[in-house]
Structure 1
């Protein structure tokens, strides 16, 4: 199996037809790029035909989807698996209600991206400061004509008042301050996330929960346990964010447009973040051929510490534009139900030799959450550090359990 990204389409040059194997995965952005260049994507053994319009996405139905077995691939999923402005479902198709808990900076950006997508009937912002939630919601409503969306937006002070939702994004929690690590937030944010997950489970028993609160891996596992939901319906956001950071930094180093760099960030959202360079490419070429080893290693290190770098520059608060956009991108990928592959904090099911812990792995997303964990063909050294990341997260979870 091969995953075809936008960079692979660009590398096809003047070809009018691109032949792929029946089991190959062509990302939505790659298909869009092929349409722009007039390239037909044809599965081996089939007759070339004009590209068909993307089917309308059905309204999500309640209930989990059972993840399938691992899918092995010699190439990574394209890092650009979604983007604002991609084709949307037909105007008469909606995805119900989405709730964003926390009307701080991350929650505001998440809400903005979700509203702009014009996909949901209603978006509800929830914050303990009800006036803030209502004010942000009204301000966002005022952009409806400018953004071209019909999604209703309102703010409230409680999960219960928000009403049953199809998707719930938890951004609430204490943000990092200069000098703090993500792990410093464990006990404070565990109490917040645990209470919210429990209340979400009562109010929206069929929802998918997306956790953004730090420390991400530990808080996602804590939310899963507190909610009682099946693991496919509780996911963490960090992998999309860390991948985007790496793509942006690699682009600054001359590797090409950020959205056409294929890469994937796995492991922990923190010191144990793993970016397997064997899976990184741009324009169909390995990134190791485009950027020197010393520079590439420095980019990985900077991506790993990008959150702290932003915190230090801001001096008060933490990153919010990229995190909010990443969270919204995950929700939209699930609501559109196109089987997009994104790195996400998921409960390991034995893939990669890891089990029973939440950490960043490539996951195929659908309307009910995680459909399956996608297993890439990593080098032995990359697999080793990924397993080490899982062990470190387990250690921190043990400390959290002992402290509670």
Structure 2
């Protein structure tokens, strides 16, 4: 049986760590792409030389062009600039929109049937860039955000309670940023709702720390941002797609009426399978929760409206 071909665009920390996780879990052969000459080739070779030790047979290839990516089943987009001191969110969005548009135009030519997983920030808006440039249906452009936000919330709850992270389940909706919407009511520890286990002030503190989870790591690292957890989030999405697991996972999706929202990218629970995003799982929300979700969506929509009509690719 032919192994899936998975292309990872961007050979920085997120991209190379993602390539490692995908290869070592045997999900498919991996092509690592980057504009820096020699870097993707070197990292791919290094990762492949680890195969005899960690016992996998995935082939890893590094390249500066898109020829070796042709016919990819899944494309993971990690390339882009990190926000620097003095750079506004709009500056970051403008810069990364150009990078994403250029990369996605190549993907549209070489891998017309691929499923695109977006990681580049600002994530929800970059999903819209990918959708417009490729012309792919919403089922085949999906943002990795909610899995990361949910993982952070689960980790913070486990830290607070001194329990296994595997016992904690959480749901985070909304845009990937300060306006995300964690749902403590749907968050459980071994099946018990979180509000029955922790006082409100502790839950509020966890929710706040979750919303600022990426920024906390940036401050600690000083010269970089998170990459282990984002790579793990991508791995879970690819695993569910390649193995057709039909997992319900929180991802950024182009909504078309779900939760009363239309033509906007928002993190919601969805089913991931061999066809990509196979349906949105609509939770029953309170009026307050729904209002927060709509506010988060409005923030994303405001940023989407700042995108140019033509990306010049």
Q: Give TM-score, length-normalised by structure 2.
A: 0.95
Residue 270 in 1 paired to residue 177 in 2?
A: yes
Specify the SS of the correspondent of 2:308. helix
1:349-368 equivalences in 2 (<5 Å): 349-368=256-275
CA distance in 2, matches of 1:130, 1:264: 41
Cross-structure match for 1:279:
186
RMSD over aligned Cα atoms: 1.6
Cross-structure match for 1:110:
18
What is the CA distance between 1:403 and its match in structure 2? 9.8
What is the CA distance between 1:163 and its match in structure 2? 2.1
Specify the SS of the correspondent of 2:266. strand
Equivalent residue for 1:160, pick from 55, 62, 67 = 67
Cross-structure match for 1:318:
225
Residue 205 in 1 paired to residue 112 in 2?
A: yes
| Corresponding residue pairs, total | 311
Q: Is the 8 A contact 1:97 1:164 kept in 2?
A: yes
CA distance in 1, matches of 2:39, 2:144: 24
Between 176-185 and 354-363, report the one with greater CA deviation: 176-185
Specify the SS of the correspondent of 1:130. coil
Larger radius of gyration: 1
Q: Is the 8 A contact 2:69 2:111 kept in 1?
A: no
Q: Is the 8 A contact 2:73 2:115 kept in 1?
A: yes
Cα 1:278–1:94 shift into 2, 3 Å: farther
For 1:133-155, what per-residue CA distance to the aligned partner results, in whole angstroms no more than 9, with x for missing partners? Answer: 01100110011122211000110
Q: Is the 8 A contact 2:4 2:242 kept in 1?
A: no
Query: Which is bigger in relative contact order (C-alpha 8 A, separation at least 6)?
Result: 1
CA distance in 2, matches of 1:142, 1:159: 23
For 1:83-137, what per-residue CA distance to the aligned partner results, in whole angstroms no more than 9, with x for missing partners? Answer: xxxxxxxxxx5542000000000001100110011121x2110000130001100
Cross-structure match for 1:196:
103
Cross-structure match for 2:249:
342
1:4-403 equivalences in 2 (<5 Å): 95-120=3-28, 122-177=29-84, 183-254=90-161, 256-401=163-308
Specify the SS of the correspondent of 2:254. strand
CA distance in 1, matches of 2:41, 2:235: 20
CA distance in 2, matches of 1:395, 1:353: 17
